[in-house]
């Protein structure tokens, strides 16, 4: 019994897929044979990269099988990006060409710092911040800082931060010099002028300390201590009363060699007994109720004694009526210098007492408080 064969249409798959790069063949409806076996073109991605250091895999266009994923090239960044921290540059993580991601390598930028804006090491400097720690900007280039005792031209060049007279020193020496070992001098010798201990422009005072040149009138031993360049013997008249001390003192002269303020070239015929109080001087005729300033006592006329101004007492006693005297009821003699008491201005006779001899009775009629004055 015969039959009729019917060809399958183009929707019927006649050969199954044999690999990721194989394609399905379909009947064409014209022939009983399945079309020739074909494969996918080389533009088809058949496998995605399994990690950052692999590439996508493409069909070969000749085989139904998908080849292995190729390795990413060594230029491929795969992890942390390139970074800058202080003076350290860390390169970006990159593939090694064998499927492995390798961490970035740290690179020192010293003596320069790392530029965060460009993520690269600087090669020139304009300020100290362009240099790494332990370096300084010398012109346009960073250079290592200098240890104590080394030569320098700026504080930034020194590890200590102190450049003293072109030498790095352990600290700020103030008016003192810095030795070749980088140590500040701490004292000086006044008579030697101490050019090796005091910096240029400074001088050594009598107490062995370096400082500014001494002004006229300051104690000195040699002329190099003084701003005027001269030290001489002068007779002081510090209170300006015209009388000097009997002994001379060594003081810095005025500019040109003249006497400093309140000093004389020779002693006056009569010496001052208290050069801190202008009221105390030879031949002083005035009296004072307060002690001498800076000296104490009341010897204002320099006679080595103290003379009271008011000495009268008991003006109203034994019939001695009158005026001017210290009130007898308060003391037996005149008060001491600077002591206050009652002074009787007027004492009058009011009546007589006879016992057995008649005498007038004096009564105090006017008084005032008064402080004893002396010189």
| Total-model pTM | 0.52
Beta bridge partner(s), residue 107: 89
How far is 121 from 113, CA to CA, in rounded Å? 6
Helix, strand or coil, per DSSP, at residue 190: helix
How far is 326 from 309, CA to CA, in rounded Å? 12
How far is 276 from 40, CA to CA, in rounded Å? 119
pLDDT of residue 267: 92
Helices and strands per DSSP (H, E), number in the chain: 0, 23
Checking DSSP bridges between strand 101-102 and strand 94-95, what pairing results, if any? antiparallel
DSSP codes, 40-89 = --TT-EEE--SSTTB--EE--SS-SSPPPPPBPPTT-B-SSPPEEETTEE
Residue 286 burial (C-beta neighbours within 10 Å; 0-12, 13-18, 19+): exposed
Per-10-residue mean pLDDT, the chain, length 375: 74 88 90 89 94 96 94 94 94 95 94 94 95 95 96 94 93 90 89 78 86 92 90 95 94 94 93 95 96 96 94 67 70 86 77 61 77 97
Checking DSSP bridges between strand 135-138 and strand 141-144, what pairing results, if any? antiparallel
pLDDT of residue 330: 52
pLDDT of residue 28: 87
How far is 182 from 164, CA to CA, in rounded Å? 9
pLDDT of residue 30: 87
How far is 223 from 229, CA to CA, in rounded Å? 5
pLDDT of residue 124: 96
How far is 58 from 46, CA to CA, in rounded Å? 5
First to last CA, the chain: 173
Q: How many CB atoms lie within 10 A of CB 364?
A: 16
Q: How many CB atoms lie within 10 A of CB 226?
A: 25
């Amino acid at each position: 019994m015969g039959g009729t064969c019917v060809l399958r249409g183009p929707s019927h798959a006649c050969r199954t897929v044999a690999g990721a790069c194989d394609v399905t063949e379909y009947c064409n409806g014209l022939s009983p044979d399945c079309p020739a076996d074909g494969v996918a073109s080389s533009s088809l991605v058949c496998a995605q990269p399994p990690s950052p250091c692999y590439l996508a895999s493409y069909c070969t266009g000749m085989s139904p099988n998908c080849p292995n994923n190729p390795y990413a090239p060594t230029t491929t960044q795969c992890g942390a990006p390139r970074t800058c921290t202080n003076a350290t540059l860390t390169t970006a993580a990159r593939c090694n060409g064998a499927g492995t991601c390798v961490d970035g390598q740290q690179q020192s930028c010293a003596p320069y710092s790392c530029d965060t804006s460009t993520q690269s090491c600087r090669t020139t400097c304009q300020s100290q911040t362009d240099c790494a720690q332990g370096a300084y900007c010398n012109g346009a280039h960073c250079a290592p800082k200098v240890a104590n005792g080394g030569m320098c031209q700026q504080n930034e060049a020194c590890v200590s931060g102190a450049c003293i007279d072109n030498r790095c020193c352990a600290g700020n020496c103030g008016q003192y010099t810095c030795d070749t070992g980088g140590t500040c001098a701490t004292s000086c010798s006044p008579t030697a002028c101490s050019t090796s201990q005091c910096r240029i422009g400074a001088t050594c005072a009598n107490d062995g300390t370096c400082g500014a040149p001494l002004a006229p009138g300051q104690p000195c031993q040699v002329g190099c201590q003084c701003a005027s360049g001269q030290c001489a013997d002068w007779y002081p008249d510090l209170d300006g009363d015209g009388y000097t001390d009997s002994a001379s003192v060594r003081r810095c002269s005025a500019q040109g060699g003249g006497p400093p303020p309140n000093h004389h070239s020779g002693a006056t015929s009569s010496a001052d007994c208290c050069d801190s109080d202008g009221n105390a001087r030879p031949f002083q005729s005035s009296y004072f109720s307060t002690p001498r300033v800076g000296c104490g006592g009341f010897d204002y006329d320099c006679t080595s004694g103290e003379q009271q101004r008011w000495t009268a007492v008991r003006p109203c006693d034994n019939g001695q009526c009158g005026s001017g005297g210290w009130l007898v009821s308060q003391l037996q003699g005149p008060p001491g210098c600077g002591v206050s008491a009652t002074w009787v201005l007027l004492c009058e006779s009011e009546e007589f007492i006879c016992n057995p001899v008649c005498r007038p009775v004096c009564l105090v009629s006017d008084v005032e408080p008064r402080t004893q004055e002396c010189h």
